[in-house]
Structure 1
Amino acid sequence: MLLDFDADIACFQSGVAELHWQHEGRQGTVRPAFFARTHDGRRFVIPHRLAARAAELEERVLRHAAAAAGWQIRPLQVPEGVLHSSLRSMAHFRGAEFAPGTQARQVLLDVFAVPRPLQKGAAVSGLGLPAAGHIWHLLWTGTLDFDRTLPLLPTSRIWAVPGNDHSWEDNG
């Protein structure tokens, strides 16, 4: 879900390759978590977080394969605690079916031009039942924001991010 937030990423996939290796009588398989391509054509391999003893050898295998293939290795910094929980909540609304249309988007940007609780903004938007899903989607895309040090709840204060009115579909 973190790759959805990276504006440089054009597309990404998981489970598309395995790297089989042999070295000094040992063998194994490295399965990167993701492969990603940026809008400017750079390619990344994103490894799983590994146990300490496996990390060194698998990292060498990935470095070797990456150098041969022209990839860059890019580990993900997975947030922890409150932010991780908030991102998991927002991720349920990342799909295009929750994206507001142009008019609904503008209504919500206007409603949240001033910070207010999520549920209050949904109520005053006049968009009815779909409003909450649209708001959570706009939080996912970064069009709306919140205090990331606090849990994201229906009572959380959220606001429109000036100049950041892109849609999920624009991110690939």
Structure 2
Amino acid sequence: MVQQRWADAAMTVAFENLPPVSAFPAVPGRRWGPGLWWSATTGRHVAAGSNAMRAQLMVMDRDREVTGLAGRPVRLLWRNPRGQARSWVPQLFARRADGTALLADCPSHPYAGGERARKGADAVAQACADIGWTYRRLPPLDDVLAANLKWLAGYSHPRNAGRPGLAAAVLEAFARPRPLNEGAEAAGDPIEVLPCAFHALWHGQLTADLTTPLHERVLVSPRGSDSPGKTAGAR
């Protein structure tokens, strides 16, 4: 492991390409432990330490301003006012298209980690501000949004774009806002079309209201449409 001045490392190190500096802990009794998240942004796996972090990775993976992702790629060290050595390892690193970056922690609730986490957050936030980066403690996602993103993430891989010409047919079918099932039937066999439509929704080529549960009548719109994706009423 290499130690560098923070300002120098931020300018020269591609943190998005680094493995974790330390393993995520496996806590007995938790329903979800450390694992790997396949990123559509990078085409590689990203280490994830908790369900809350995986949910935030899904959000980052859909953000078109994010170009790279990594789990725990850097440990920051400093001395407190009493001269004592302290350190903190942020859970998530996201590289932005403009070259800046976000360091983040993904607590399952606002007080997770206690006083040590609060002091670590303050120190990392200041270190990021000094170089024009950002640090955040990301609040947990709404359950419905998290469930919708988890569903769409299952179709994020390029293979779900389908055969040549299918993606174009799907986008044409939803050139105007319409319910998901109607657009799928207009584009062809729904069994073939729906994975492609979900792939387009994940990548932002189509839009829908992800704050309500996805279902066959959800209103799907083209990217940039003035009509928000909301649930269509029954006919």
Task: Give TM-score, length-normalised by structure 1.
Answer: 0.75
2:73 matched residue in structure 1: 16
Q: How many residues align?
A: 163
- Contact 2:106–2:140 (CA under 8 A) maintained in structure 1: no
Taking a change above 3 Å as real, the CA distance of residues 147 and 131 of structure 1, as seen in their structure-2 partners, is same
SS at 1:155 equivalent: coil
1:167 matched residue in structure 2: none
Taking a change above 3 Å as real, the CA distance of residues 66 and 104 of structure 1, as seen in their structure-2 partners, is same
- Contact 1:78–1:84 (CA under 8 A) maintained in structure 2: no
Structure 1: how far apart are the matches of 2:173 and 2:182? Answer: 10
Task: Give TM-score, length-normalised by structure 2.
Answer: 0.57
Unmatched 5+ stretches in structure 1? 164-172
Structure 2: how far apart are the matches of 1:10 and 1:101? Answer: 26
The CA deviation at 1:130 is 2.9
Structure 2: how far apart are the matches of 1:13 and 1:28? Answer: 22
Structure 2: how far apart are the matches of 1:161 and 1:68? Answer: 36
1:110 matched residue in structure 2: 172
1:3 matched residue in structure 2: 60
Once the two structures are superposed, the pairs formed by residues 10-89 of structure 1 within 5 Å of their partners are: 10-19=67-76, 23=80, 30-49=88-107, 51=112, 52-66=114-128, 71-76=133-138, 78-89=140-151
Taking a change above 3 Å as real, the CA distance of residues 63 and 157 of structure 1, as seen in their structure-2 partners, is closer
The CA deviation at 1:137 is 0.9
Structure 2: how far apart are the matches of 1:34 and 1:116? Answer: 37
SS at 1:17 equivalent: coil
The root-mean-square deviation of aligned C-alpha atoms, in Å, is 2.9
- Contact 1:104–1:127 (CA under 8 A) maintained in structure 2: no
More relative contact order, 1 or 2 (CA 8 Å, 6+ apart) = 1
Structure with the bigger percentage of helix: 1
- Contact 2:106–2:139 (CA under 8 A) maintained in structure 1: no
